[in-house]
Amino acid sequence: MKDIQFKITKNEQVNQDTIRLVITADEKLPAITAGQFLQLEVPDNTLILRRPFCIYDYDGYSITLYVAVVGKGTEALKKAKVWDALKAILPLGNGFFNDGSSDAELLRSARNDGRSFGFAQDDKKDDKGGRQGGVPTWIDEYKNIGILGGGIGCAPLYRITKDYPTKNFFAYLGFNTKDRILFTEDYKKTCKKLVITTADGTAYEKGYALDYIKKDLSQLDAIIMCGPHGLVKAAKTALADTKIPVFVSLEERMACGVGACLVCTCPIEVGGATKNKRVCFDGPVFSLQEVIV
């Protein structure tokens, strides 16, 4: 984890309330794992706390973020100019693969059969921070992986599909309306199947992505998901009986982002007991089975 000085190198509006931000550092970025996030300074002197955003994509020096403009901090980011300087702490959280030290137990239980995962203890990274393969991780045990995303929650799931070109990814991305649809061109390139839904039926399939992934469960070995609270809650019920491991990336309000303040704690059920876990440090990725919603 490192506090790094960045400059904004792109800031474009991609729909009514979302911007795509590319930030570039002078120094080489530390290795990043799919599903990790950063804490970004916002260009407003009245806002001291940094804001958490998932790392959508990255190369050796640059990071791409998609930011939904929902309040003062994200509004300030929308107004920021190219070459404005911002600091960010990264990489944060466990991501979809970790070194096995912090939450091995949580991830193991997602599989429901008690076998342990092979974590990437000393996994190799290529010079762009991506994975080179080599040491097995949990994903190496699965071939057909479902991606379930809702709205801006589709963002943290993209990089995993890019990092593993030999896997079959089946993506189910849900949006409220046609003009909120994002990320489709990227996912088209990396996924074997892509189902896009709109709740109001203004484009693609009408309804909810969860209903479509449910129809294809027999083809899937594992699911990774992220989205609004309502989606996590509905998935918890709808996928309760499946033996497929489901990994969910949670969002909580955060302050420090590094495990020190306890602002982001949420209850997680571990082995029949409820424990408070810090989403920023123990997560944001948990087993859906263990999340209490």
Ligand X SMILES: Cc1cc2nc3c(=O)[nH]c(=O)nc-3n(C[C@H](O)[C@H](O)[C@H](O)COP(=O)(O)OP(=O)(O)OC[C@H]3O[C@@H](n4cnc5c(N)ncnc54)[C@H](O)[C@@H]3O)c2cc1C
In angstroms, the first-to-last Cα distance of the chain is: 29
| The only residue of 47, 259, 270, 293 in contact with ligand FES, by rule CB under 6 A | 259
| The only residue of 108, 131, 180, 278 in contact with ligand FES, by rule CB under 6 A | 278
- Residues contacting 200, CB < 8 A, separation 6+: 176, 177, 206
Q: How far is the CB of 259 from ligand FES (least distance, A)?
A: 5
Q: How far is the CB of 55 from ligand X (least distance, A)?
A: 8
Q: Is 255 in the site for ligand FES (CB under 6 A)?
A: yes
123: three-class secondary structure by DSSP: coil
Residue with tokens 């990396």: 190
Query: Cβ(235)–Cβ(225) under 8 Å?
Result: yes
Q: How far is the CB of 50 from ligand FES (least distance, A)?
A: 10
DSSP per-residue letters across 172-232: EEEESSGGG--SHHHHHHH-SEEEEEETT-SSSEES-HHHHHHHTGGG-SEEEEE--HHHH
Nearer to ligand X, 226 or 244 (CB): 226
Footprint on residues 122-141 left by ligand FES (CB under 6 A)? none
Only segment of 54-62, 111-119, 135-143, 252-260 that touches ligand FES (CB under 6 A): 252-260
Report the interface residues with ligand X, using CB under 6 A. Answer: 37, 51-54, 65-68, 70-74, 152, 155, 251-254, 284
Q: Which does 262 bind (CB under 5 to 8 A by kind): ligand X, ligand FES, none?
A: ligand FES
Tell me the site size for ligand FES, rule CB under 6 A: 13
- Residues contacting 185, CB < 8 A, separation 6+: none
How far apart are alpha carbons 81 and 274 in whole angstroms? 45
The length of the chain is 293
Q: Which does 52 bind (CB under 5 to 8 A by kind): ligand X, ligand FES, none?
A: ligand X
How far apart are alpha carbons 142 and 125 in whole angstroms? 20
- On the 0-12 / 13-18 / 19+ scale of CB atoms within 10 A, 228 is middle
Q: How far is the CB of 11 from ligand X (least distance, A)?
A: 14
Q: Is 268 in the site for ligand FES (CB under 6 A)?
A: no
Q: Is 82 in the site for ligand FES (CB under 6 A)?
A: no
Nearer to ligand FES, 152 or 280 (CB): 280
Q: Is 267 in the site for ligand FES (CB under 6 A)?
A: no
| The only residue of 263, 269, 270, 293 in contact with ligand FES, by rule CB under 6 A | 263
Footprint of ligand FES (CB under 6 A): 254-257, 259-264, 278, 280-281
